């Protein structure tokens, strides 16, 4: 899964305290700070995939 032990421990602790509901995303914590042009540029980079940006793996992390 490519996650740290620390993350798994945190998720387990949250799950034990609040069950599945505790693990649900609460959504973004703040408003997006990118303007429309920046969002379009980001989307284009993401569409091309990690290899196009020099990453060996085909998975964004």
Tell me if residue 56 falls in helix, strand or coil: coil
**pLDDT at site 57:** 83
Q: Would you give per-residue pLDDT tens digits along the chain (61 residues)?
A: 788 999 999 999 999 999 999 999 888 889 999 999 999 999 999 999 999 999 888 887 7
**pLDDT at site 28:** 86
Distance between CA 57 and CA 19 in Å, rounded? 33
pTM value > 0.85: no
- Three-state SS across 2-27? CCCHHHHHHHHHHHHHHHHHHHCCCC
Q: Measured between alpha carbons, how far apart are the two ends of the chain, in Å?
A: 11
Map out the domains of the chain as residue ranges.
Answer: 33-61
**pLDDT at site 44:** 97
**pLDDT at site 18:** 94
The CA–CA distances, whole Å, from 19 to 2, 13, 32, 37, 46 equal: 23, 9, 29, 40, 33
């Amino acid at each position: 899964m490519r996650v740290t032990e620390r993350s798994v421990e945190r998720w387990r602790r949250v799950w034990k305290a609040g069950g599945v509901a505790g693990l649900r995303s609460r959504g973004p914590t703040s408003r997006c700070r990118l303007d429309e042009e920046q969002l379009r540029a980001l989307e284009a980079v993401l569409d091309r995939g990690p290899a196009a940006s020099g990453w060996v793996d085909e998975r964004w992390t």
